[in-house]
Amino acid sequence: MSFSNPTVQNPCTKFYEYKGDTGVFQYYDKEEKKNIPLSTPCYFIVLDELSTIKGFSDRLNCGIYSNEVHSLNNETLTVRSFKGGMKIVGKYADIKDAIKGEGGKFTKSIYALRVDDSGESELINFQLSGAAFQAWMDFTFKQQLHVVCITGEKKEGKKGKVTYSIPVFARYNLKESLVPVAVKMDKVLQDYFQKRKEQAYEKEEAATIAPVNDDIPDQDDDAYDSTKTDGDLPF
């Protein structure tokens, strides 16, 4: 990037991941140099959902990651390792076995506006994979009507001899007063996405671009009664 066009910075203040062994969402605080658990209940408005790859490669002994995409049908996933030595590019249907072989997991990246009774709000991100991703896929809500809540409750799951925790989500009616705040923050977010995409194109414009197939099922918007919620927000 040039002096007049510096690398765009993600506007999120915190990036949460779910730990199935402890059953908590947490983010890493760079200043305190430790993981900070999410206080629950946590209420947020979903602004956008993207797809990415996260994980750890035993072969390379380091983490792996990919770009974030809105559409697996029309955008390319490029999976890399933090230490180098790995780059997987192609249609998701074609590369998913290679990704899993390296320890990668399909991850849903949720950009959200956190709200509370103080009137304060902040842009945060949730990285959902494994049990948390499945719980999110099973959860139903309408983006324009509902505030989502991470309740802090947990359900128990078991795979073989391994027992893990599954997060519980709830939905509440979206207050009209929160809509302008969400719209304003979403404009900031979409501007970031656009600039990030432009800079990525500038950086890899010589690379071969291939479409990506989407084999992740969409939620069925008609499979539930959108009038049923957990009530009005408690603030």
pLDDT tens string 79-100:
999 999 999 998 888 899 999 9
Low-confidence winner among 75-79, 168-172, 182-186 (lowest mean pLDDT):
75-79
Q: What is the pLDDT of residue 209?
A: 44
Residue 25: closest CA among 9, 41, 10, 12: 41
- Which residues 6+ apart lie within 8 Å of 110 measured at CB? 46, 48, 49, 125, 126, 127, 128, 136
Banded model confidence at residue 205, pLDDT cuts 50, 70, 90? low
What CA–CA distances, in Å, run from 97 to 100, 101, 161? 5, 6, 25
Q: For the chain, give every domain's residue range.
A: 14-204
pLDDT of 29 above 60: yes
Q: What is the pLDDT of residue 105?
A: 94
What is the pLDDT of the chain when averaged over all its residues?
Answer: 88
Q: What percent of the chain has pLDDT over 70?
A: 89
Q: What is the pLDDT of residue 218?
A: 45
pLDDT of 7 above 90: no
Banded model confidence at residue 234, pLDDT cuts 50, 70, 90? confident
* 10 close to 27: Cβ distance less than 8 angstroms: no
Indicate the Cα dihedral angle 157, 159, 163, 167, nearest 10°: -30
Largest CA distance in the chain: 55
Q: What is the pLDDT of residue 202?
A: 77
Banded model confidence at residue 203, pLDDT cuts 50, 70, 90? confident
Low-confidence winner among 102-106, 172-176, 188-192, 220-224 (lowest mean pLDDT):
220-224
User: pTM (2 decimals)?
Assistant: 0.85
- CA end-to-end span of the chain, whole Å? 44
